[in-house]
Structure 1
Amino acid sequence: MQLDRDINPNGKGKYALIKLRDIPGDPRTPEELAAAILRHPECVDFGMKGSDSEFFPIRLKDAFAPAALR
């Protein structure tokens, strides 16, 4: 199986992680979360290729997840 990373020439992938533990409070709606991200932009991790925080997200219910996790 080939995993599609979709890395752009600038090293940025197609996903970003929102580190919810870095956001104080408990945003419950998309609007509250967007406002919290604006107040705490450090909670967003772009996982740039080659960085210490590089990642590859996998949805566990995806049909290809079992093969990707092996």
Structure 2
Amino acid sequence: MGNIKKTDVDGELLDAIFALEREWKQIESIVEQSIESPYTGHHLEALAQAKYMFLLREARHRKVSAMQRV
């Protein structure tokens, strides 16, 4: 089993945060454009937002910044 480096895990965390942000914004846009906002759409939007916020808190806890990645 290879060594897992903190920088690798931090990079994966940032990738996941950016992907979830795109997913959340995409769902939000679809729900806003819907004539009748279905319950499921709002549920999916809330779930994506919750995942995104959780990962942001994890990044803050790990002291990870997107600026470190540049």
Task: Please confirm whether the aligned pair reaches a TM-score higher than 0.5, indicating the same fold.
Answer: no
Higher relative contact order by CA 8 Å / sep ≥ 6: 1 or 2?
2
Asked which structure has the greater CA Rg, the reply is 2
TM-score (norm 1): 0.26
Q: Determine which structure has the larger helix proportion and give its number.
A: 2
